[in-house]
Amino acid sequence: MSTVVLIGGQWGDEGKGKVTDFLAEQAAMVVRYQGGNNAGHTVVANGQEFKLHLIPSGILYAGKPCLIGNGVVLDPEVFIQELEGLESRGIKTDHLRISPRAQVIMPYHQKLDACEEKRRGASKIGTTGRGIGPAYMDKAARVGIRMADLIDPEEFGPKLKNILANKNELLQKFYNEEGFDYGDIYKKYTEYGKRLAGYVEDVSIIIDEGIKKGQHILFEGAQGTLLDLDHGTYPYVTSSHPVAAGACLGAGLGPTRISKVVAVAKAYITRVGEGPFPTELKDELGDYLRQRGHEYGTTTGRPRRCGWFDGVVARYATRINGLDYLAITKLDVLTGLDKLLVCTGYSYRGKLLTEFPSTLKILDECQPIYEEMPGWQEDITTVQNYGELPENARAYLDRISEVSGVPIAIIGVGPGREQTLVLKNPLE
Ligand code: GDP
Ligand code: IMO
Ligand code: MG
């Protein structure tokens, strides 16, 4: 039995969807535990591309149970669209289950997300605009609507009436915006509730039964360690807990039940949205990586900021998540560069920092310290095992593993499911 938590080790978009899909074949179930449709996970299987936002990246295997935990914020409209999109491509979705405790993203959350970003002006976070922050705010304020409420009109009606009066007052009096009509939302969302009722089941129990049977269970993180509400580059973060510990809270299992933690990280690094990024390349090389790596957001289409592999970030991810392994993706994107830089530390006011700073004030003044390594020119997209990689590619991987303080288990040499090299199977 192996319960593996797979998380993002950087600022998101590391290739979690691809690696989850690859490992899901051996897992009895795949579980999302935080975030919402701010996530965009791309899976390329049998030459077809799928962009998943809420549905776990195990869905492409027929009959594979895919679970959405209590820690997720679920937009029913987006979820139904995603369901229908998959079904229209012949993918069965009847093995999906949603926790009754998952929070529902309502139309006022999206509107408040946009209002807050506008109000922040130049210091905006660059959110995905999906209502994620406001939905988690309501959860913490104990006024959120949960899936169990959405599917029960007797609960939903009074709760919506109460919260909507509050939100309309906020929208109208504070933001000078129009409010929402109770009747319209009630009608639309009770229909969504009816459509989704059959999917709602206590996923914590399903996971527990799987563990008792000795099954392999895969937890698919969204976002990344540096976007974590506590451990990320606050306030330029998301409002959930993408770190490994988030799986316990967001799916309903205890820490003693987790066997292994794997972080997915690109062979370089990207970030979308605002916030600090020490190894960012603001020059033609950054543009080159963006073009070559197709670094445009899966959810918003925004260009991703690109930079060199940051070993300080990686070491931080190792500590915060208790990593067992790294899965390094997009190694193929670096092919053709003469030299590669790896950040091994930061220079701060003339001092060497080897640990990620806890405040932006310090981080803003940090300059990366780089080590230079030779690149490789050979095409690696059809390589089948580690030994076939060019010597310089292996040396690069060895060095980033050393700097990160954790062994590499998986290497991505292209977006396809088959373009994956396994050094160690984390689900064994
Ligand atoms: P996620 O949010 O972590 O699942 O990552 P995204 O799907 O947002 O972005 C990763 C992108 O890189 C997707 O377009 C993937 O198809 C692609 N990808 C993943 N692994 C590899 C790889 O090893 N090589 C290449 N070239 N592309 C990859
Ligand atoms: P996946 O799962 C990359 C970023 C946004 C913004 C910040 C807050 O595909 O890796 P939010 O809408 O969550 O309030 O935005 O977080 N962000 C992501 N960046 N990948 C993601 O998801 C992200 N989800 C949110 O760009 O900077
Ligand atoms: Mg993504």
Mutate to test the pocket of ligand 2, among 37, 272, 274 (most ligand atoms within 8 A of CB): 272
CA 306 / ligand 1 centre spacing (Å): 14
Architecture of domain 3-90+202-422: Alpha-Beta Complex (3.90)
33 within 8 A of 71, measured Cβ to Cβ: yes
Report the atom number in ligand 1 closest to the C-alpha of 298.
8
The whole-number pLDDT of residue 243 equals 98
Amino acid at 294: H
Compute the Cα dihedral for 144, 148, 150, 154 and give only its sign: negative
DSSP structure string for 176-202: ------HHHHHHHHHHHHHHHGGGB--
Active-site residue identified among 21, 41, 109, 310: 41
pTM score = 0.98
Name the 3-class secondary structure at 377.
Answer: coil
Any idea where the domains of the chain sit in the sequence? 3-90+202-422, 103-199
At residue 342, φ and ψ (nearest 5 deg) are: -125, 125
User: Rounded to whole angstroms, how far apart are CA atoms 282 and 277?
Assistant: 11
Distance between Cα 332 and ligand 1 center (Å): 11
Q: Which residue has the tokens 């030299």?
A: 339
Mutate which of 238, 264, 274, 300 for ligand 2? The one with the most ligand atoms within 8 Å of its CB, which is: 238
How high is the pLDDT of residue 428?
86
Provide CB contacts within 8 A for 305, sequence distance 6+.
270, 271, 272, 277, 280, 286
* 53 catalytic per annotation: no
Per-residue pLDDT tens digits of the chain, which is 428 residues long: 799 999 999 999 999 999 999 999 999 999 999 999 999 999 999 999 999 999 999 999 999 999 999 999 999 999 999 999 999 999 999 999 999 999 999 999 999 999 999 999 999 999 999 999 999 999 999 999 999 999 999 999 999 999 999 999 999 999 999 999 999 999 999 999 999 999 999 999 999 999 999 999 999 999 999 999 999 999 999 999 999 999 999 999 999 999 999 999 999 999 999 999 999 999 999 999 999 999 998 888 899 999 999 999 999 999 999 999 999 999 999 999 999 999 999 999 999 999 999 999 999 999 999 999 999 999 999 999 999 999 999 999 999 999 999 999 999 999 999 999 999 999 98
Rounded CA separation 44/269 (Å): 21
For ligand 2, pick from 51, 105, 128, 229 the residue to mutate: most ligand atoms within 8 Å of CB: 128
Tell me the residues surrounding ligand 3 (ion) with CB < 5 Å.
Answer: 13, 40, 298
Residue 20 is encoded by which pair of tokens?
């989850």
- How far is it, in rounded angstroms, from Cα 257 to Cα 3? 7
The angle formed by the CA atoms of residues 131, 136 and 138, to the nearest 5 degrees, is 95
Structure confidence at residue 272 (pLDDT): 95
| Ligand 1 atom with minimal separation from the 14 CA | 3
For the segment(s) 103-199, the CATH number from 2.40.30.30, 1.10.10.10, 3.20.20.80, 1.10.300.10 is 1.10.300.10
Q: What is the pLDDT of residue 340?
A: 98
- Ligand 2 atom closest to Cα of 242? 2
Contact call for residues 335 and 355 (beta carbons, < 8 A): no
- Sign (positive or negative) of CA dihedral 300, 301, 303, 306: positive
Cβ(242) – ligand 1 distance below 6 Å: no
Spatial separation of the C-alpha atoms in residues 49 and 46, rounded to whole Å: 8
Is 41 annotated in the active site? yes
Pocket of ligand 2 (CB under 6 A): 8, 12-13, 38-41, 125-128, 130, 132-133, 222-224, 227, 238-239, 272-273, 298
SS3 266: strand
pLDDT of residue 104: 98
